Amino acid sequence: MTTRRFWLLFLAGIIALGIISRTIHTGWIVFDKYLGDALYAVMFYVILRLCWPVAPARRVAIAAMAIMTVLEFFQLTLIPLHMSASPNLLIRIAARLLGTEFSFLDLLAYAVGIGCLWLVDSRTGRRS
């Protein structure tokens, strides 16, 4: 299997797990809330890895965490919250993807997800 194909299949699996984590409620906040947040950050890592296949894993992890941090702090503008009240379905979906409530715990979940994938990626050295 080519490396690109591996990352694409991995991305599909992450998206599927993320959807499952948001639709099946266990009553356990780590699964119901923070697993989805960590997977969301991992998704950005994988997208960056697909776009930047020869970059060191450390650089991809830093870029992914920077993107996630910007997205989380953007929530403080309340723009995504106002978007979530839009009558337009696509705008409401975009608001859901951006998130509407800032949380330092979300940043921690992002860091855990990115950190775990960074460890695996840097150890295996998968490249295109």
Taking each helix axis as running N to C, give the angle between helix 57-74 and helix 104-124, from 0 to 180 degrees, rounded to the nearest 10: 170
- On the CB side of 49, CA atoms within 13 Å amount to 29
Closest CA to 113 of 103, 121, 102, 101: 121
Single-letter amino acid code for the residue at 34: Y
Q: Say which residue, 47 or 127, is predicted with more confidence.
A: 47
Instruction: Please name the residue that has the structure tokens 């780590």.
Output: 30
- Please give the Cα distance from 52 to 95 (Å, whole number): 27
For 86-123, the pLDDT digits (tens) are: 999 999 999 999 999 999 999 999 999 999 999 999 99
Task: Provide the whole-model pTM.
Answer: 0.90
| Model pLDDT for residues 11-39, shown as the tens digit of each residue | 999 999 988 988 998 999 898 889 999 99
The residue type found at 52 is: W
